[in-house]
Amino acid sequence: MTFPDGYVDIPPGKVAAVVTSLEMLAPPVLPPDPVADGAIRRVAQPDLDWYRDLYARVGSEWLWSQRLRMSDAELAATIRPAGVEIYTLEHAGGDEALLELDFRKKTDCELVLFGVTSGLIGTSAGRLLMNHALRRAWAQPLTRLWVHTCSFDHPRALAFYQRSGFRPYRRQIEIAPDPRLDGTLPRDVAAHVPVITPR
């Protein structure tokens, strides 16, 4: 399939992001864990309301919305099966990070979700969480660990993944309904992605 060079219109009411997939084919040399005010905790069989709240607090600024659109049954089937591991970072009396690893494919693990709440961006929390993710993943008999990020994410996200040892291997365009137009997310989030309403 070939695509013409130049501009392509995105329909009003939709958003489009450039998605970069990255992979790691061997364990990296990890930097030392930073001194951080908090502790990482695994959450087995996560409560759905707890998960939705944390997912929104971590991801709404980056237009994370897919899990918020799921029914209870869909969400439970996504985050509770054997082989899916959910972690958080306890900080100042609350849960302030979300890490999700999917080990359901033999020798292949997806780092599905990774992020901290706004108050911890730019602190050592992200490095602490990533070190934990990499140690946990490569403790398994893997041949590949992969993750994707997109142009809606924090502007330093792609560089952070690359510094952590991931290498880009694929680029895609994702088009989806704008979650701020149907009430899935508040209208005032993600100011870096303009809202264009259908006329």
Query: Are 125 and 116 within 8 A, CB to CB?
Result: yes
- What sign results for the dihedral spanned by CA atoms 181, 183, 186, 190? negative
**Tokens in use for 183?**
């009430």
Asked which of 30-34, 50-54, 126-130, 143-147 is least confident by mean pLDDT, the reply is 30-34
Q: What is the pLDDT of residues 26-59, one digit of tens each?
A: 999 999 999 877 899 999 999 999 999 999 999 9
Q: What is the pLDDT of residues 160-181, one digit of tens each?
A: 999 999 999 999 999 999 999 9
Nearest to 62 by CA among 109, 10, 98: 98
Architecture of domain 38-143+150-177: 3-Layer(aba) Sandwich (3.40)
Contacts of 122 (CB under 8 A, 6+ apart): none
Query: Are 17 and 150 within 8 A, CB to CB?
Result: yes
pTM of the model: 0.94
What does the CA dihedral 111, 136, 88, 78 come to, rounded to 10 degrees? 50
Contacts of 112 (CB under 8 A, 6+ apart): 84, 100, 101, 102
Asked which of 31-45, 55-69, 109-123, 151-165 is least confident by mean pLDDT, the reply is 31-45
Helices (H), the chain: 48-59, 72-79, 125-138, 157-163
The pLDDT-based confidence of 1 (bands split at 50, 70, 90) is low
